[in-house]
Amino acid sequence: MKSYLEGFYKKSIKERQQLIFGEQLADFKPLLESGGLALPKADRILENVIGIYALPLALAVNFKINNQDQLIPMVLEEPSVVAAASAAAKSSYKNGGFTVKSEKSQTTAQILIKTSDPDNYWKQIMQNRDELLAALAGEDPQLESLGGGVLGLERQPLNWKGHLVVNLMVDCLDAMGANAVNTYGEKLKQLVRGRFPGKPLAAIITNAFPGRTTRARAVFTLKPRAGLSANQIQELFMEIYTWALHDPLRALTNNKGILNGIGAVALACGNDFRATSAAVHYRSFSNSSGLPLAVWEKVGKNKVQGTLSLPLALGSVGGMTNFHPLISKFFKFLNIQKSDSLNAMAACAGLANNFSAIKAIAVEGIQANHMKLHNKKK
C-alpha cells in the first residue's frame, strides 16, 4: 500500500480512514472507534480488570523500507512523535528510504547454577551437550514444527565465585519468545538438577536479546530553514549528535527520542514495550562506539546518514497479537506476517524520530513544534 501521503495530517479522521481502508472501512470502523477490545476479552488478558484504557492509534506515513512503501502504526500519549517520524521519513523517501537487515530470530534464556567448581560444571555440560539438547526437543512442538527450537548453549562470562550461568539460545521465528525460552530454560534446569555436582537455582529469559540485532540505515535531506542554509543545519546537526557522544546525560535523552518511535510501534502492534525498552537501554550501555544508539555521518553538504543497530524482538505472533481483534486484523491488512517486518518498522521509526529530534534541537528548538501540537489539547 502507498505510504507517501502528502498532507495526510491535514485531512479529517474520516478522510484518513477512507483513504487507508477504502472498501474495507466498514469492517474496521467499529474496531477503530472502540479500540477493538471488549471487556470480556480484556478480562482474559490481565488480572483484576475494571475497564478499558484508550490511547490514540495513528499512522506514520512516507516510510519506504527495503524499497517498499510501509505505513507504520503507532500508539502513544506524546504529541509530535508521529508528525516527526512522518516528516523525517519524507526527507529520506527520495533518497531511497530505509535499508533494514535483521539477524536471526534468536531469544536467549539464562540458567543460574550454584557450584563450587563452575569450570568443571560447564565442562560436564559440554560433554553431555548433544544429549541435553536432544532432551529439550519437544518442549514447544508448534515452534519446532515450523522450523524453530533450540540453537545451542553458551557460557555467560561472569565474575561471581561459586556460580555458573548458562545461556540457552532458541530460534523463536516470528515470536518474541519470552514464554517459549522460559519453558526451554526451566526444562534445562530440571535436566541438570542432581546430574552434576551443583544446584541449578533459576531459569529466565534475558531481555538483552543477544544475537537478535536489527540495523536500519537511511539518508535524510536537510532543507534550508529559519534563516539557515542546509549546510549550516548539517553542521549544527552534527554538533548536537556529537554532544551525545561526549555526555551520557544527553545520550540518554537522545536514546529516549529513539524509543519514542520504537515503543509506539511496539504498543500499536500489541508487543511488550518494556522488554523493548530494556533491550534498547542495554545496548546503549554496551555500545562500543559510545552511548547514542544511532551513528550519524555527513553526506555531501546537505544530507546526513543515520545507522541504528539495536536488539529488537517484536513478535508478529504470540503475546496478545492474535488475541486482540484490532491488532490481528490490522496485521493482515498491512500484510505483516513476520517478526522481521515489525522489527524493521520499529527500527525505522526510531531512526526517523532521532533525526527529527536532533534537527529540531539544532534549528528551532524542540519546543516550537512540540508545543504547537501540544496546544491542540486546549
Binding mask 200-229 for ligand NAD (x = CB under 6 A): -----x-x----------------------
Instruction: Tell whether residue 179 is a contact of ligand NAD (CB under 6 A).
Output: yes
C-alpha cell at 355: 533525526
Match 537487515 to its residue by C-alpha cell. 101
Decide if 298 is catalytic.
Answer: no
Instruction: Tell whether residue 177 is a contact of ligand NAD (CB under 6 A).
Output: yes
Q: How many residues bind ligand NAD, per CB under 6 A?
A: 23
The closest of 315, 371, 373 to 346, measured between CA atoms, is: 315
For residues 320-359, which are near ligand NAD according to CB under 6 A?
A: none
Considering only the stretches 56-64, 175-183, 279-287, 289-297, report the one whose residues sit in contact with ligand NAD under the rule CB under 6 A: 175-183
Shortest Å distance, C-beta 48 to ligand NAD = 17
Following DSSP, what letter does each residue of 92-161 receive, concatenated? HHTTT-EEEEE---EEEEEEEEE-S-HHHHHHHHHHTHHHHHHHHTTSSHHHHHTT-EEEEEEEPP---T
Shortest Å distance, C-beta 148 to ligand NAD = 6
Shortest Å distance, C-beta 276 to ligand NAD = 9
Which amino acid belongs to residue 58?
A: A
Residue 162 neighbours by CB under 8 Å, 6+ apart: 114, 115, 116, 118
User: Alpha helix locations (H) across the chain?
Assistant: 13-21, 25-34, 39-42, 81-93, 118-127, 129-136, 141-145, 178-192, 230-246, 248-268, 273-285, 325-333, 339-362, 367-374
Q: How many CB atoms lie within 10 A of CB 353?
A: 27
Contact 4, 61 (CB under 8 A): yes
Instruction: Tell whether residue 185 is a contact of ligand NAD (CB under 6 A).
Output: no
CA dihedral 214, 219, 224, 229 (to 10 degrees): 110
Instruction: Tell whether residue 318 is a contact of ligand NAD (CB under 6 A).
Output: yes
256, 281, 298, 329: which one is catalytic? 256
Binding mask 127-166 for ligand NAD (x = CB under 6 A): -------------x-xx--x-x------------------
Decide if 256 is catalytic.
Answer: yes
Instruction: Tell whether residue 178 is a contact of ligand NAD (CB under 6 A).
Output: yes
90, 187, 324, 370: which one is catalytic? 370
Q: Which is nearer to ligand NAD, 140 or 240 (CB)?
A: 140
Measured distance CA(285)–CA(171) in Å, rounded? 25
Decide if 246 is catalytic.
Answer: no
Instruction: Tell whether residue 272 is a contact of ligand NAD (CB under 6 A).
Output: yes
Q: Which is nearer to ligand NAD, 177 or 306 (CB)?
A: 177
Catalytic residues, by residue number, are 78, 256, 272, 370
Interface contacts to ligand NAD, rule CB under 6 A = 140, 142-143, 146, 148, 172-180, 182, 205, 207, 272, 275, 315, 317-319
